[in-house]
Structure 1
Amino acid sequence: MMRQVQNNIWEDDDFIYISEEIFKHLPKEYREAAEARKQQSEDALQIADKDIRGLIKLINAIPTTSSLSYIYHRLRTSKFEATPQALMEQEVLTAAFIVTYGRLFANGDGASGLSRGAIPRHLRPVHDEIVELRNKRYAHNGSHDTVSSGINLSFDGNGFRVSMQMSLGFYVGGKNEWKELITFIDAHMHERLTKILRRLKEKTGYEWTFPVGPAPNWVGDYG
């Protein structure tokens, strides 16, 4: 975390940062060394521009993959009872899982670069089922065979009484195959990160590191 030391000067655990206003008053040899270092880094970044853009795309997807794992953990570990509250909790968590998964495969500025072709062949039917659920049930009010609704009309001679009929289908605790899919995506993202960092080193001649800490205790805890 960056901390302000005084006006125009900041620091973190590794560096001290100064503004351009102060920089121009430094001794000439300091300014020349800093300018040379700046040029050195800019030259390396220009060479690695394409891979850096891929790295940014990958980093943008990491919060989504983390959310996906947490939602599945909640689905697997939540206690289910035949009550309206428990039914709604399962429905809400399932909707969150399906929509979050779909974000990993969406196009646009926030796209992760993950495609159906990267999914192992035996998991593609599971992937396709999730995408269909997203498109036809959770992201849009379309028709899907897991949900149906209608009305029942009763006439008593004086008027009509309208009652709603609805059925919802979902996997209590999420589908078992989702676990293998999530595990693959987590490993795939880590592998892509490793490959990009390795390519960046090969192209620039410099080490590229990414901070890695212990995974949250709920990752992999799917009941």
Structure 2
Amino acid sequence: MSDTDADDDDDGAYYVVPEEAIQYLPREWQEAIYARAEDGRKVLEAADKELKQLSRLSLSFYHVTVLKHIRDKLAVYRFKADMAAFLELDMLTTAFVATYVRLHTGGSGSGFARDALPEALRSAHDEIIDMRNKRYAHVAEHDSVNDEMEIQEDEGRFIVNLGFRFGFYIGGSNDWTKLVDALDEIFAERGQKIVERLQARTGREWSIAQGPLPTRRRPDWRGRSRHGV
């Protein structure tokens, strides 16, 4: 393999040098590494409050990602008049409602207030909360589910037919897509504000990484690189 090929393989990678190996590096390298590490430690100490806020916010980003996934699954749902299709729709609706409410009630600054939503979407928010409380989370009456048990009498023998009627949004409510988009914007803006506070507090440039993490590599004993774990 040529040096050019090796360089191409290293695109997007970073290297991990064990601390115990630093002592074998040239003195000026050691001094530069330790000075940079100390500088980084001071920056992180100064940014501790904002970094904790970002850490809590990361859970909100996860829930928004889940909501997007469920929304996309609902969008491609096609109505079929059979129980398997109804149960699949119920499963997706349950997952959407539960994830939405979990995001709404997230503690320690990771949730959101009803008033943060556009006013036109607040009734859709209320509907989801009501569905969660009365249909999915607790045993209570909700207008989308009704018992329709029937009893038949056949020559003195009584037969009970258990039945129910339930309602769904086929593909999810149109407002749910708007809600997810609004939440995506709310939490993206919240993250950006924290980044701005980090920059103001530390005087350094900060950003939230997009996409997959770079490949970690560790130098082997021959000085070439191998993929790390």
Which TM-score band applies after superposition, normalised by the shorter structure? 0.7 to 0.9
Distance 1:33 1:178 in 2: 53
- The alpha carbon displacement at 1:31 in A equals 2.6
Distance 2:76 2:119 in 1: 28
- When Rg is computed on C-alpha atoms for both structures, the one with the higher figure is 2
Distance 1:35 1:136 in 2: 59
SS of 1:24's partner is helix
Tell me which residue corresponds to 1:133.
131
Distance 1:87 1:208 in 2: 47
Moved over 4 A (4+): 155-159
SS of 2:24's partner is coil
Question: 1:185 is matched by which residue type in structure 2?
Answer: L
Distance 1:71 1:127 in 2: 16
- The alpha carbon displacement at 1:155 in A equals 4.5
SS of 1:167's partner is strand
Q: State whether residues 101 and 129 of structure 2, in contact with CA within 8 Å, keep that contact through their aligned partners in structure 1.
A: yes
Question: 1:41 is matched by which residue type in structure 2?
Answer: G
Distance 1:33 1:113 in 2: 42
For residues 82 and 96 of structure 1, do their structure 2 counterparts lie closer, same or farther at Cα, with a shift above 3 Å needed? same
- Per-residue deviation, residues 157-186 of structure 1 (Å, max 9, x unmatched): 665422212111111121111121111111
Give runs of aligned pairs for residues 55-70 of structure 1, distance below 5 A: 55-70=54-69
1:170 is aligned to 2:168: yes
Give runs of aligned pairs for residues 38-57 of structure 1, distance below 5 A: 38-57=37-56
Q: State whether residues 57 and 113 of structure 1, in contact with CA within 8 Å, keep that contact through their aligned partners in structure 2.
A: no
Q: State whether residues 77 and 170 of structure 2, in contact with CA within 8 Å, keep that contact through their aligned partners in structure 1.
A: no
Per mean C-alpha deviation after superposition, the further-off stretch among 127-136 and 84-93 is 84-93
Distance 2:173 2:14 in 1: 48
1:81 is aligned to 2:80: yes
The alignment yields a C-alpha RMSD, in angstroms, of 2.4
SS of 2:147's partner is strand
- The alpha carbon displacement at 1:52 in A equals 0.9
For residues 107 and 68 of structure 1, do their structure 2 counterparts lie closer, same or farther at Cα, with a shift above 3 Å needed? closer
- The alpha carbon displacement at 1:150 in A equals 5.5
- Per-residue deviation, residues 21-72 of structure 1 (Å, max 9, x unmatched): 2223334433332222122112111221121111112222222212211211
2:119 aligned to which of 118, 121, 130: 121
Aligned residues: 202
Distance 2:126 2:92 in 1: 19
Tell me which residue corresponds to 1:99.
98
- The alpha carbon displacement at 1:96 in A equals 1.5
Q: State whether residues 152 and 163 of structure 1, in contact with CA within 8 Å, keep that contact through their aligned partners in structure 2.
A: yes
Distance 2:60 2:11 in 1: 26
Distance 1:77 1:97 in 2: 15
Of structures 1 and 2, the one scoring higher in RCO (CA 8 A, sep 6+) is: 2
Distance 1:19 1:187 in 2: 40
What is the TM-score when the length of structure 1 is the normalising length?
0.79
Distance 1:182 1:193 in 2: 16
Structure 2 residues without counterparts, runs of 5 or longer = 1-9, 212-229
Distance 1:57 1:115 in 2: 16
What is the TM-score when the length of structure 2 is the normalising length?
0.77
Identity of aligned residues (%): 38
Tell me which residue corresponds to 2:202.
204
For residues 19 and 65 of structure 1, do their structure 2 counterparts lie closer, same or farther at Cα, with a shift above 3 Å needed? same
Give runs of aligned pairs for residues 145-164 of structure 1, distance below 5 A: 145-149=143-147, 151-156=149-154, 159-164=157-162
